[in-house]
């Protein structure tokens, strides 16, 4: 069987990798759209402390976090070690002891069916700061050893290279769908017309546009996220934990003193993929209150990407109702680095006619069709 995957963010790259690994013929196409979410994202994988109550979302996010170590091992077998993934642990901050108490209880409760959370430890402000020295001194925290960070760009590239090693072909091009009546039969790139048994569309924030020629209107929206990278010269930051402050912000460390702080939630900007003065102001205004020690760090770079959303902030995946030969997965929103690799594996299983771990009815594509 032959398959085409349109869109090689983390979701499409993972789908292509898992399909290729199973021996299928796979073509992956991506037009390298500026503002691709995956390229801009870095990267907390720590869904368990979230206060979001949606069970379907949590099941998906939990599965995503659990799957990472297995995926990293598979990629290693394919010779890919540069993924930016590291289980460095995570600290969730608060100044209020009651809130920390509740957070700790939530962590223990969630560990009952998610042992991958690892060790849960309540830390004093001094202990918290010892783990992430730039932090302000008033924050206590709950530390979970299973929290991880990942570099979106690095894991995406590792997945694409590993897919190619398993026989997949990757084209850098815009793609559109080719259809006959109510059946999608392939995709057209700038240079080629490709036929396939099935086409899988994992096109993120731009997913809706591919279906317009089919007369389908998809409810996919997007939100710009800006994020900044700074460096603390001469500091070994490689083992510093991910930091989750009480605000919807975060910071995390990579090797060589690199600290990533983000991200903004910019609505109503369309596909304007600029990094703005206001965006950076907001990021640093919030970040320096939490971690004043970053004031003297070196500014390295800033990025912007579009979080793709489907209705209810719940991802969808599966066949497009009323059509043959075409599947969609989309709506990874703010947690797509966590969810993407796992959902790609699930999507590959679905395409290959194997049983999925998740119930696809919970993530029904018709929810995203207007
Ligand atoms: P994308 O990565 O956007 O990929 C879609 C791809 O489709 C693009 O490469 C585009 O070029 C291609 N495409 C579209 N249309 C076509 C076409 N017609 N032809 C060819 N190619 C096409 N998640 C977490 O879990 N933890 C985090 O800490 C985190 N932080 C983030 C920080 C930022 C700044 C951002 C922007 C996101 C963050 N996320 C995080 C969310 C996560 O990055 C996204 O949910 C995820 O990357 C979405 O992946 P995707 O593959 O669906 O979309």
Write out pLDDT tens, residues 17-62: 999 999 999 999 999 999 999 999 988 999 999 888 899 999 999 9
Q: If we measure between CA atoms, which residue out of 349, 347, 310 comes closest to residue 332?
A: 310
Q: If we measure between CA atoms, which residue out of 366, 337, 350, 356 comes closest to residue 13?
A: 337
Mean pLDDT, the chain, integer: 97
Establish if 107 belongs to a structural domain.
yes
Establish if 167 belongs to a structural domain.
yes
**Domain check: are 199 and 250 in the same one?**
no
Residues flanking ligand 1, CB < 6 Å = 6-12, 29-33, 36-38, 40-41, 43-44, 152, 174-175, 202-206, 210, 225, 227, 262-263, 305, 307-308, 332-338, 340
Report pLDDT for 132: 98
Report pLDDT for 248: 84
**Domain check: are 110 and 160 in the same one?**
no
- Residue 113: CATH number of its domain: 3.30.9.10
pLDDT beneath 70, residues of the chain: none
- Kindly state the DSSP code that residue 48 receives in the 8-state scheme: T
For the chain, the distance separating the N- and C-terminal CA atoms, rounded to the nearest angstrom, is 31
Range of the domain at 166: 2-39+153-220+311-368
What spacing in Å lies between the alpha carbon of 125 and ligand 1's midpoint? Answer: 35
Report pLDDT for 42: 86
The reply to whether ipTM tops 0.90 is yes
**Domain check: are 138 and 261 in the same one?**
yes
| Smallest CA separation from ligand 1 atom 37, residue | 41
Report pLDDT for 51: 85
Q: Is the Cβ–Cβ distance between 207 and 7 less than 8 Å?
A: yes
Q: Which of 4, 5, 6, 7 to mutate to test the pocket of ligand 1 (most atoms within 8 A of CB)?
A: 7
Q: If we measure between CA atoms, which residue out of 293, 273, 270, 269 comes closest to residue 227?
A: 273
Establish if 102 belongs to a structural domain.
yes
Report pLDDT for 52: 85
Establish if 133 belongs to a structural domain.
yes
Report pLDDT for 93: 97
**Domain check: are 229 and 342 in the same one?**
no
| Smallest CA separation from ligand 1 atom 39, residue | 334
3-class SS letters over 155-199: HHHHHHHHHHHCCCEEEECCCEEEEECCEEEEEECCCCEEECCEE
Establish if 354 belongs to a structural domain.
yes
Domain end (from 278, 307, 336): 307
Establish if 331 belongs to a structural domain.
yes
């Amino acid at each position: 069987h032959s398959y085409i995957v349109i869109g090689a963010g983390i979701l499409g790259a993972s789908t292509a990798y898992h399909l290729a690994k199973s021996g299928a013929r796979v073509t992956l196409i991506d037009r390298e759209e500026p503002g691709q979410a995956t390229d801009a994202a870095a990267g907390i994988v720590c869904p368990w402390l979230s206060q979001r109550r949606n069970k379907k979302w949590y099941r998906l996010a939990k599965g995503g976090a659990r799957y990472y170590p297995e995926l990293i091992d598979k990629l290693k077998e394919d010779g890919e070690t540069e993924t930016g993934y590291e289980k460095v642990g995570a600290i969730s901050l608060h100044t209020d002891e009651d809130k920390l108490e509740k957070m700790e209880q939530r962590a223990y409760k969630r560990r009952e069916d998610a042992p991958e959370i690892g060790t849960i430890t309540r830390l004093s402000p001094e202990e918290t700061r010892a783990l992430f020295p730039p932090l302000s001194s008033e924050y206590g925290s709950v530390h979970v050893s299973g929290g991880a960070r990942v570099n979106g760009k690095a894991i995406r590239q590792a997945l694409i290279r590993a897919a190619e090693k398993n026989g997949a072909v990757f084209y850098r091009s815009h793609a559109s769908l080719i259809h006959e009546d109510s059946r999608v039969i392939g995709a057209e790139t700038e240079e080629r017309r490709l036929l396939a048994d099935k086409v899988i569309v994992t096109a993120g924030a731009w997913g809706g546009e591919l279906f317009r020629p089919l007369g389908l209107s998809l409810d996919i929206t997007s939100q710009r996220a800006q994020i900044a990278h700074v460096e603390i010269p001469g500091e070994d930051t490689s083992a510093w934990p991910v930091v989750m402050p009480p605000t919807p912000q975060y910071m995390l460390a990579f090797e060589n003193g690199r600290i990533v702080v983000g991200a903004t939630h910019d609505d109503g900007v369309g596909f304007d993929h600029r990094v703005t003065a206001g965006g950076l102001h907001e990021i640093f205004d919030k970040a320096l209150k939490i971690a004043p020690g970053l004031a003297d760090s070196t500014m390295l770079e800033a990025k912007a990407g579009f979080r793709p959303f489907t209705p209810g902030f719940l991802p969808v995946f599966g066949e497009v109702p009323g059509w043959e030969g075409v599947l969609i997965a989309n709506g990874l929103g703010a947690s797509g680095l966590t969810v993407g690799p796992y959902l790609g594996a699930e999507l590959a299983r679905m395409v290959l006619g194997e049983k999925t771990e998740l119930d696809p009815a919970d993530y029904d594509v018709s929810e995203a069709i207007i």
